[in-house]
Amino acid sequence: MSVYWQFYGFDYERFLSIRKDLRAADSARDFEPMNENAMTDAILSALESGEMKPSVARSAMIQTLCCTGEPLLLDAGLLRIVSRLAHNRDTEDLGEQLEALLGGGTNLDSWLHPTEALSGFLTPQQTIALHTKYGQVLRRGGAVKGRRRRQGGLVGKTEDFLRQLFAMEARPEESLRLLGELIAAAAEVGQGIAVTAG
């Protein structure tokens, strides 16, 4: 089984507006005021038929209503990247914050546990702080240090082609760049970020 994470922008304001109703929701009727689209309708149908428990429906509603944009899919290689960041004195804070987010439970109230896929989220303020740390680390060149890979040339192009062909994990530098772009975009519009695990 392969492990992966999906990162999204997170509409924290929207989350705050549905939080109270979600916390109290135990039946399909309780979820009805949040039924806004085909996805939420499917959640309600699954809840009514008994295919989904209320705790799972809460998580699914948050994902459907609060996670924004296209997901950034990062695979198990992300753990190695974050671990290296956490064990490097210059990038320790950034690595620890990402480890906590991937580990699950960040900002999740007890009524959201157990979650099926939603691992956690950062508030807009936490996202701005993470963006600041991220920028400092990348400006210092403190990104992931490891085995030096050949860039460019026929070998590099062949490696990139094979990586795409076999859907292999992204290079650490590419994963960090993509994650940094998502964090920057969310911080720019005053959103948080959310992580789901699969």
The residue extents of the domains of the chain are 4-197
**Rounded to the nearest 10 degrees, how much is the dihedral formed by the CA atoms of 84, 88, 93, 95?**
0
When pLDDT is cut at 50, 70 and 90, the band that residue 133 belongs to is: confident
Residue the block writes with tokens 């490696």: 159
C-alpha 197/C-alpha 3 separation (Å) is 7
pLDDT, position 149: 47
| Each residue's pLDDT tens digit, 71-96 | 999 887 787 888 888 888 878 888 88
C-alpha 42/C-alpha 61 separation (Å) is 10
pTM (2 decimals)? 0.80
When pLDDT is cut at 50, 70 and 90, the band that residue 177 belongs to is: confident
Longest CA–CA span in the chain (Å) reads 60
C-alpha 102/C-alpha 79 separation (Å) is 8
| Each residue's pLDDT tens digit, 25-48 | 999 999 999 999 999 999 999 999
Residue whose C-alpha is closest to residue 171's, from 73, 78, 70, 71: 78
| Each residue's pLDDT tens digit, 115-124 | 667 889 999 9
pLDDT, position 52: 92
Residue spans of beta strands (DSSP E) within 11-155: 67-75, 118-122
Tokens of residue 81, six digits: 């990247």
Residue whose C-alpha is closest to residue 123's, from 194, 192, 196, 195: 192
